Structure 1
């Protein structure tokens, strides 16, 4: 991460008096334009962040480097980004720790990759897999931009990026994984490969957008037998307006973005205890087409 005075090539975040935010890359000789006139990039370069500056038409802006949570929602995108609220849940609930060996698929636009690299630290390792080369190129540029690596320089030292299908590429690696994060359309297709790669007690965390994906991955993990009972949830974030006695919920909130599912790997040859509670009537009715636990009757009336 950048420290010290602002330098060419860095991103900065300008916030005006109404709270409107503008993110852009510092380029010598360029100008930032808004409805309140312009600001010369050269007037920002070389100064310590955390200052106010006026524009040519009387606007006033606060200048800071963007936080990671601010950078990922404004950075160039190939695929949709993992929102900061979900990235924070993944880092916490998947217990990403310094020195961890983490596998990530797919890489999307690199938003979650930045959070994972921060969490594992210099002694950890993040191996990312992405099927689409154009997404991988965008992610590589974004990760380099955030960590201050030159565009033509080497990748982050704790990071490797592989173009290919996780289910095919991961078994070729002999390096075990402590954590596996899946952000893909059909994560259930990778459960066997993930089970083989994860260390006993390791965690798989799956990020899916729809209820049908949620059902399929949870049931696949259950039927596999080599994982603990999957836990599924979503998080919603609402800000608050606080001014004097006017304290109320904000008019905007970040609602559903995705579901998260976690499960832990059992030791080889071991199976988790079966659930004692029987499924609700109709849970595995005639319209259900996904994986079915062995002890669930075909006819819910049985």
Structure 2
């Protein structure tokens, strides 16, 4: 588990897991005694300065193990904001992959249930849960297209190829007013899903969004967008149980 974050004045980050040995960088090493500082500045043997912080959830999350493409923080943030989940919410995440979304949602919600059919991915999910010290995630080796055993859910998130196969199951598992959120990489998949949703008496389409994130560089008299940006990752379709 990552315990400390070191950041130099250029914004470069270093992640420290073991506080019982010196930490080596290309700028020199930091004595293990200094790594136990709660805050402030530490120096390498070459006098290079770093700000030191206790690692928070978002710091540890950025170093999770990946076995499949993850739903990014920008998209996870939209899911949280649009559905309004909170510390009382019960959530099902299907197509768990590396467990990234489950872990982010678990930091907000009361309980997360993760369905994943790939046993190798399940191992990765459990490892990430342990490294993030999360206690409110239940992982199940289940195919959601065959049915949902969990009921009275506030939110279901689907990250799988054929989400239309889950519509009827989701209707039985969600609370009235609960959300079904579908993450898909291509707009043709979204169109296919929306056609099915529009035929359902149990759901109403709320919105379809795509998040494009661009950072900015501000330095002296320079103010411009960064050349690299986090562009298209996927489409989020929000529907609600009526």
TM-score (norm 2): 0.89
Superposed CA RMSD in Å reads 2.1
CA offset at residue 41 of structure 1?
A: 4.2
- Corresponding residue number in structure 2 for 1:181: 157
- Corresponding residue number in structure 1 for 2:9: 17
Mapped contact 1:90–1:205 kept (Cα < 8 A): yes
Mapped contact 1:72–1:81 kept (Cα < 8 A): no
Structure 2, unmatched stretches of 5+, are none
Counterparts of 1:136-175 in structure 2, within 5 Å, are: 136-147=122-133, 156=135, 158-170=136-148, 172-173=149-150, 175=151
Q: What per-residue deviation string (whole Å, max 9, x for no partner) do you get for residues 15-66 of structure 1?
A: 223222222422523x432211222445313x21x32211233322222234
CA offset at residue 82 of structure 1?
A: 1.8
Mapped contact 1:191–1:221 kept (Cα < 8 A): yes
Of structures 1 and 2, the one with the larger relative CO (CA 8 A, separation 6+) is 2
2:241 is the alignment partner of 1:255: no
CA offset at residue 185 of structure 1?
A: 2.5
Mapped contact 2:66–2:98 kept (Cα < 8 A): yes
CA offset at residue 259 of structure 1?
A: 0.8
CA offset at residue 68 of structure 1?
A: 3.5
Partner-residue secondary structure (3-state), 1:167: helix
Dislocated runs of 4+, deviation >6 Å: none
Call closer, same or farther: CA 1:11–1:62 in 2, change over 3 Å.
Answer: same
Mapped contact 1:94–1:204 kept (Cα < 8 A): no
Q: What per-residue deviation string (whole Å, max 9, x for no partner) do you get for residues 123-181 of structure 1?
A: x221111111221221222122223x6xxxxxx1x3211111122351x34x3212111
- Corresponding residue number in structure 2 for 1:78: 67
2:168 is the alignment partner of 1:192: yes
Aligned equivalents of 1:32, 1:165: Cα separation in 2: 44
Call closer, same or farther: CA 1:190–1:98 in 2, change over 3 Å.
Answer: same
Aligned equivalents of 1:81, 1:41: Cα separation in 2: 34
- Corresponding residue number in structure 2 for 1:94: 83
Q: What per-residue deviation string (whole Å, max 9, x for no partner) do you get for residues 43-101 of structure 1?
A: 313x21x3221123332222223443443332221222221111110101122122111
- Corresponding residue number in structure 1 for 2:115: 129
Larger radius of gyration: 1
CA offset at residue 223 of structure 1?
A: 2.4
Call closer, same or farther: CA 1:194–1:42 in 2, change over 3 Å.
Answer: farther
Mapped contact 1:73–1:83 kept (Cα < 8 A): no
Call closer, same or farther: CA 1:67–1:211 in 2, change over 3 Å.
Answer: farther
Partner-residue secondary structure (3-state), 1:255: coil
Q: What per-residue deviation string (whole Å, max 9, x for no partner) do you get for residues 234-286 of structure 1?
A: 111112222343222223321111110001112xxxxxxxxxxxxxxxxxxxx
2:102 is the alignment partner of 1:113: yes
CA offset at residue 201 of structure 1?
A: 1.4
Structure 1, unmatched stretches of 5+, are 1-8, 150-155, 267-302
Mapped contact 2:4–2:35 kept (Cα < 8 A): no
TM-score (norm 1): 0.73
Mapped contact 1:218–1:230 kept (Cα < 8 A): no
Aligned equivalents of 2:30, 2:72: Cα separation in 1: 30
Partner-residue secondary structure (3-state), 1:53: strand
